[in-house]
Amino acid sequence: MANPRESELHYVLGDQLPELGTVLEVAPGIRWLRMGLPFALDHINLWLLRDRQGGTEGWTIVDCGIASPETKQAWEQVFAHHLDGLPVLRVICTHMHPDHIGLADWLCERFGCRLWISATDWATARIAVKSTTGVGGDAAADFFASHGLSDPEMIDKVRRRANHFAQLVPRVPEAYRRLFDGMEVEIGGHRWRCIVGYGHAPEHIALHAPSLGVMIAGDMVLPRISTNVSVHDLEPEANSLQLYLDSIRKLLALPAETLVLPSHGKPFVGLHQRIDQLIEHHGERYAEVMAACAEAPQSAADLLPVLFKRPLDLHQTTFAIGEAIAHLHALWFRGELLRQVDGRGVFRFSPAHL
């Protein structure tokens, strides 16, 4: 979803973007990198925070990019030209998705440092390297089929993506330092408070430094697009969207003038406006889902053209159907929709009160 109210946000660096392998300073001691992704969403923002630990000057890296030769090469350029000759002291991952944790093991091994991440996301990533989560393999294919995905070629492609996570995240560090909600981490003389968020990842951690007026938001608040919030085969009855909306509402307690550093898009000011926009966006999607279900019982696959009015490739379809399920489940848990299984074993949803 491109943000039609984007003009309400203020991009502090305008249209400036760091070239691959270079950095831009966005706040004192905070440098912005962008790494490429082989998807329609073609980049991820990563952050370098000036740091000091045990008398050693260096850097903390926040998020890593996927494991690919191109990303490693870009990191080599950063190491050579943008660390001021100082080492990396730790790696923080906001969550376990491949574009965030993909090169964590490579970075930690290279610099002999520790990965910091929530316990749930570390454990989930460790499992996913061995058995993919949500977007590929037999369990995912059967789950999507139970929600109406019927194209045999598409189902077969999902089955054959059983090693999708491991291709982007070949290894996850065997040891880590746990981040949890409310924890404060001192980085470069500033206290960064961990803020947990649910719905997008198992236990996503955003970082807020009041002394800098900055929040590293990860994927919880993005300026141009809405964060993907899905239901997956590992937790088939999840109420992910309600968890996500509850999580971002809590961020309204932060100052309105907070500089938001998102994982995708550009750094911006306008946190409260963006949260209001995201809540409104999902409210509109709820209305569309209810209207469609009132016409006839709907599966999640039936709702793809209702919620996503553009062609979708395989990667986008797996995210889209997960998000359609999330909208249906939110309404189901609220008692506004009923869930039944039809003769083909497909979940269909209809209004609880006609």
Task: For the full predicted model, state whether its pTM sits above 0.85.
Answer: yes
Taking 3-state DSSP, the helix, strand and coil percentages for the chain, each rounded to the nearest 5, stand at 35, 25, 40
Predicted pLDDT of residue 208:
98
Q: At what angle do helices 138-146 and 152-159 cross, to 10 degrees?
A: 150
In a domain, 152, yes or no: yes
d(CA 206, CA 193) in angstroms, rounded, equals 8
Contact 6, 223 (CB under 8 A): yes
Predicted pLDDT of residue 354:
67
Predicted pLDDT of residue 134:
60
Q: Is 185 helix (H, G, I), strand (E, B) or coil?
A: strand
Which residues have C-beta within 8 Å of that of residue 13, sequence separation ≥ 6? 24, 26, 266, 267
d(CA 44, CA 297) in angstroms, rounded, equals 38
Which residues have C-beta within 8 Å of that of residue 246, sequence separation ≥ 6? 198
Contact 157, 201 (CB under 8 A): no
In a domain, 337, yes or no: no
d(CA 344, CA 330) in angstroms, rounded, equals 24
**pLDDT tens-digit profile, the chain (354 residues):** 578 889 999 999 999 999 999 999 999 999 999 999 999 899 999 999 999 999 999 999 999 999 999 999 999 999 999 999 999 999 999 999 999 999 999 999 999 999 999 999 999 999 999 876 666 889 999 999 999 999 999 999 999 888 889 999 999 999 999 999 999 999 999 999 999 999 999 999 999 999 999 999 999 999 999 999 999 999 999 999 999 999 999 999 999 999 999 999 999 999 999 999 999 999 999 999 999 999 999 999 999 999 998 888 888 999 999 999 999 999 999 999 999 999 999 999 999 986
In a domain, 352, yes or no: no
In a domain, 303, yes or no: no
In a domain, 72, yes or no: yes
Where b means 16+ CB within 10 Å and e means fewer, 162-198 reads bebbbebbebbbeebeebeeebebebbebebbbbbbb
Q: How many domains does the chain have?
A: 1
Pairing between β-strand 43-53 and β-strand 56-62 as defined by DSSP bridges: antiparallel
Q: Where are the beta strands (DSSP E) in 184-230?
A: 184-187, 190-197, 204-209, 214-218
Structure tokens at 125: 């990533």
In a domain, 306, yes or no: no
* Enclosing domain of residue 260: 6-294
In a domain, 118, yes or no: yes
Q: Which long-range contacts (CB under 8 A, 24 or more apart) does 57-61 make?
A: 57/86, 58/83, 58/86, 58/87, 58/88, 58/89, 59/83, 59/86, 59/87, 59/88, 59/89, 60/88, 60/89, 60/90, 60/91, 60/92, 60/187, 60/188, 61/88, 61/90, 61/91, 61/92, 61/107
Predicted pLDDT of residue 322:
97
Predicted pLDDT of residue 309:
87
d(CA 217, CA 207) in angstroms, rounded, equals 7
In a domain, 322, yes or no: no
Instruction: Find the CATH number of the domain harbouring 168.
Output: 3.60.15.10
> Quick one: which of 101, 107, 97 has its CA closest to 133?
97
